[in-house]
Structure 1
């Protein structure tokens, strides 16, 4: 069983402006382990959003999911590293040459390069229309093998694939898990989800949680509620109250 005390929380900044992002970060910085900048925010604000968050002193997960020819991805990853990004994503389906080139760009840095397997909005039908006949689990395990071979074992996967990944690869993976929805949060476009406690118990290293926190009437209370849920689950399993 994974140690829940080692599970970190990344708050996804699913907001429109640098001002909104900074406001949330200032509120949550003492309790969150990192903050995720995705395409929506990056396209609007550009590299300045990463610089600003690093100046505040927080860890930044730059989730742009690079997928292109090897040289282009290598250059993009190198530039993301130069901004100070602590975690960077690439698509594992880009293949061995692309992943190897990306890995070279983070060599000698502290940046964690993680590979995206199958998006949490996808299911077997989504894969089928793109010509993939495998089940979601089979495809995730196949792609995770590339993450182990070329990226040092960082993989992004839905919470439903955590247990198969742990069973197959043991502790050789750093598993970053989106699709985290507290039982009290509203549903959305993500299909393969679990609660924070369930994902932590299964062995996720990083939980990526956005809207249940950022759209709450009190983002800090929402984050603290999630952390308490995880901690309480851990304590109860060790005989505590």
Structure 2
């Protein structure tokens, strides 16, 4: 279940920058990349088709959250794009998540966002009026995601072990907010290093700026790969 490749967040504003970045890597190397809202809204399905032609795996990070019928219909569209994983917001509820699963079918893995790694406990209580602890909220959303039959969740690595205890060992914990030792946290609140994510039990890690904004992105990727795989 664990993915050895760090998932690279392609947080670029346009197609040309993505092409330039991917061209830095050997043509026979198969990466796992994340396409988020900024890039998808700027370029659309053409970007996904290009990345797949290069042989890379794609996590399409659009975080769908709407009424069940709308999400199911949207997932039917996404099922034709050939992505390897996509997601919804667990806050949409069990029925919405089940509808998303019906729409996507078996074409890709489907996971749900619990609490964003940029959200602190204080913000959760203030903005969302959830008065439990942040960990309790994450575990609740993870259990509901498991109940809905999805493949896993997006969560902080700090919560991965506890999530597996209330779901199953096969339940995917994909963890953004990964920063190598010494890297700036940026707008992320709950961050861990690749080595810590490995020890805690993350299945996938997502790394963006420490790779994409590095002086040598390929070298930065290699170092994170080694740390994530304990090489």
Aligned to 1:18: 15
Using structure 2 for the length normalisation, give the TM-score.
0.93
Pairwise CA distance, 1:6: 4.8
SS at match of 2:221: helix
Cα contact 1:10–1:32 (8 A) shared by 2 = no
Q: Structure 1 residues 147 and 32 mapped into 2: Cα distance closer, same or farther (>3 Å)?
A: farther
Tell me the distance in 2 between the aligned counterparts of 1:152 and 1:28.
33
Aligned to 1:140: 138
Q: 1:215 aligns with which of 190, 207, 213?
A: 213
Aligned-CA RMSD value: 1.8
For structure 2, the 5+ residue unaligned runs are none
Pairwise CA distance, 1:31: 5.5
Cα contact 1:77–1:88 (8 A) shared by 2 = no
Residues 35-50 of structure 1: pairs in structure 2 closer than 5 A? 35-50=33-48
Cα contact 1:89–1:116 (8 A) shared by 2 = yes
Q: Structure 1 residues 28 and 12 mapped into 2: Cα distance closer, same or farther (>3 Å)?
A: farther
For structure 1, the 5+ residue unaligned runs are 236-241
Aligned to 1:190: 188
How many residues are aligned here?
Answer: 229
Matched, 1:166 2:164: yes
Cα contact 2:97–2:150 (8 A) shared by 1 = no
Cα contact 1:25–1:35 (8 A) shared by 2 = no
Q: 2:109 aligns with which of 112, 121, 124?
A: 112
Q: 2:222 aligns with which of 224, 232, 236?
A: 224
Cα contact 1:148–1:172 (8 A) shared by 2 = no
Using structure 1 for the length normalisation, give the TM-score.
0.89
Provide runs of 4+ in structure 1 moved above 6 Å: none
SS at match of 2:6: strand
